[in-house]
Structure 1
Amino acid sequence: MNVLIDGLPTAVEIDGTEYTLNTDYRTCLQIMTAFEDPELTGFEKQTVMLQLLYPIVPPDARRASELAVKFLNCGQESTGNDSGDEDSTRYYSWSQDARYIMAAIEQAYHIDLFSADLHWWRFSYMFLDLPEECFFSRLIYLRKQKAKGKLTKEEKEWYYSMREVVDLPEIYTTEEQATINNFMAQLGQ
């Protein structure tokens, strides 16, 4: 598919039936935020994705999920590569960084996201091409440099002055947090 020629997708075909997609960027951000939620199981995340993305959920949930993920990936097939070959470090959070993402898109593209009617792919393309001079891009750069252990002296100073903004907290389920708390309590005795 070539978006320059074919336009942006608004539906998928499953078993010969066309299913409309809810392509609004806000809906897709809700899905992405659900995928960040450690309290939701994989099945619950899939359910949220299907219910939000499809006004009428297709009966073939497996194929609908595959096509939903492909849609959320802007047409790219999911590789399912969990071998560790790709960098899986998280450099941004749709939840924690929402205000910086919004400001960056408004600054770079002069679009008021509160009133904008944007297709998910258009939003994603803008998000992926934010200029280096915006705060959010500098924030991502700093997070990457920190993860690599390659902060310069000036970057370290900036990091320590803005640590609460830069650091993405580890997110644990309630069960995992209870295990950590129990372990820490045992260490204190």
Structure 2
Amino acid sequence: MDAWKLPTSLCVSGTDYKIRTDFRVVLDILEAMNDPDLFLPDASEEEIALVRSDTMVQILYEDYRTIPPEDFAEACEKALDFIDMGMKDDGKKKPHSMDWQQDAQIIIPAINRVQGCEIRALPYLHWWTFLGAYMEIGDCLFSQVVNIRQKKAKHKKLEKWEKEFLNANKDLITLQKKISVEQKKEMDNLEKWL
């Protein structure tokens, strides 16, 4: 992909397919990828991967139904490349230190500051522009929260102010485990018996 252009389509097996490029669309994809209700409780890893891929393609590509089945894998690869803005991952597993949905309340002000406007009020903002602003977030509440999460994940010692901040803001700093509606019902039923 050309980093100097904002793509509005992806070429799959020589055919250009229009994509939805607003940042909200990609955030919907990322949210769906982490939605435990998207899968059956006993789904295999392969089934989960297939459902995730299919969901991503349906949300991103405007005419996903016209993509031939034999080109589905390439369409997924191109979609992931678009979402990652063409940046290659080093392949090393990194600790989970942020969640788009949970952290929205502290990500939005940081991106607003970078963009110089209220991004939610914009009728359209390309995903790459949004992601570029995200990458330019400097010192702010969000970066402090992520820094503490990363230190905790790597079992590094927190500074005194970080410990105090963590104790005062556990709900903000602790990443919530996503549970399905079915799991929530089971937990609620269990609590009734206690």
**What TM-score, normalized by structure 2, do the two folds share?**
0.80
Residues 63, 2 of structure 1: alpha-carbon distance in 2 compared, 3 angstrom cutoff: closer
Which amino acid is the alignment partner of residue 110 of structure 2? A
SS at match of 1:104: helix
Which amino acid is the alignment partner of residue 135 of structure 1? L
Match of 1:54 in 2: 61
Residue pair 1:159, 1:166 contacting (<8 A) in 2 also:
yes
User: For structure 2, which runs of at least 5 residues remain unmatched after alignment?
Assistant: 40-47, 189-193
> Would you say 1:12 and 2:10 are equivalent positions?
yes
> Would you say 1:44 and 2:44 are equivalent positions?
no
Aligned length: 177
Residue pair 1:31, 1:48 contacting (<8 A) in 2 also:
yes
User: For structure 1, which runs of at least 5 residues remain unmatched after alignment?
Assistant: 182-187
**How far apart, in 1, do the equivalents of 2:103 and 2:14 lie?**
40
Which amino acid is the alignment partner of residue 46 of structure 1? S
Which amino acid is the alignment partner of residue 144 of structure 2? R
Match of 1:24 in 2: 22
Pairwise CA RMSD: 2.6
**How far apart, in 1, do the equivalents of 2:145 and 2:24 lie?**
23
Show the 5 A alignment for 1:81-160: 81=91, 85-87=92-94, 89-116=95-122, 117-132=124-139, 134-149=140-155, 150-160=157-167
CA offset digits 1:18-54 (Å, max 9, x no partner): 1011111000000011112122232332222111100
Residue pair 1:69, 1:78 contacting (<8 A) in 2 also:
no
Residue pair 1:10, 1:20 contacting (<8 A) in 2 also:
yes
SS at match of 2:145: helix
Residues 166, 172 of structure 1: alpha-carbon distance in 2 compared, 3 angstrom cutoff: same
Among 158, 165, 175, the alignment partner of 1:168 is 175
**What TM-score, normalized by structure 1, do the two folds share?**
0.82
**How far has the Cα of 1:161 moved from its partner?**
0.5
Bigger RCO (CA 8 Å, 6+ sep): 2
Match of 1:66 in 2: 77
Residue pair 2:114, 2:136 contacting (<8 A) in 1 also:
no
Fraction of identical pairs, as percent: 31
**How far apart, in 1, do the equivalents of 2:19 and 2:88 lie?**
17
**How far has the Cα of 1:174 moved from its partner?**
6.0
Residue pair 2:19, 2:60 contacting (<8 A) in 1 also:
yes
Which amino acid is the alignment partner of residue 69 of structure 1? L
**How far has the Cα of 1:125 moved from its partner?**
1.2
